[in-house]
């Protein structure tokens, strides 16, 4: 019998791969779907760890690319900035906690 945790991780990673490859198109066609997907990716980034406790490195680039995509666009709507702010705050808090615990 397969491990449900491994299956859910595989589905999540597949979903994230689709998001990363189609993020520009998704953002233009359905901003709310982009923001939901972006939030999901940030939450996975904040939760998913390797066996050694490190962040899941394949998500680092896509997360920061989405942050940059929102920051560099002068036509962003307030919802995009709000989600950006929430996700930056969440991830920075997690990173700060991790590094302060290691000292």
pLDDT value at residue 1: 47
Mean pLDDT for all residues in the chain: 75
Which tens digits make up the pLDDT trace of 46-56? 777 777 877 77
Predicted TM-score (pTM) above 0.85 = no
**DSSP annotation of 49:** B
- In the chain, the number of structural domains is 1
pLDDT value at residue 26: 75
Q: Does the pLDDT of residue 98 top 60, yes or no?
A: no
d(CA 40, CA 84) in angstroms, rounded, equals 12
d(CA 17, CA 25) in angstroms, rounded, equals 14
Residue 94: give the domain boundaries.
Answer: 4-102
**How far out from the chain centre does Cα 90 lie?**
11
Helix (H) and strand (E) counts in the chain: 4, 0
26 touches 38 (CB < 8 A): no
Place 60 in a pLDDT band, splitting at 50, 70 and 90. confident
């Amino acid at each position: 019998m397969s491990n449900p945790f491994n299956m859910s991780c595989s589905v999540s990673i597949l979903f994230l791969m689709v998001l990363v490859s189609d993020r520009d198109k998704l953002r233009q066609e359905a901003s709310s779907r982009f923001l939901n997907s972006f939030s999901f990716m940030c939450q996975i980034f904040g939760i998913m760890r390797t066996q050694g406790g490190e962040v899941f490195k394949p998500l680092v680039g896509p997360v920061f690319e989405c942050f940059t995509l929102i920051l560099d666009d002068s036509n962003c709507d307030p919802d995009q900035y709000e989600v950006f702010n929430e996700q930056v705050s969440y991830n920075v808090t997690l990173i700060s906690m991790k590094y302060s615990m290691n000292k």
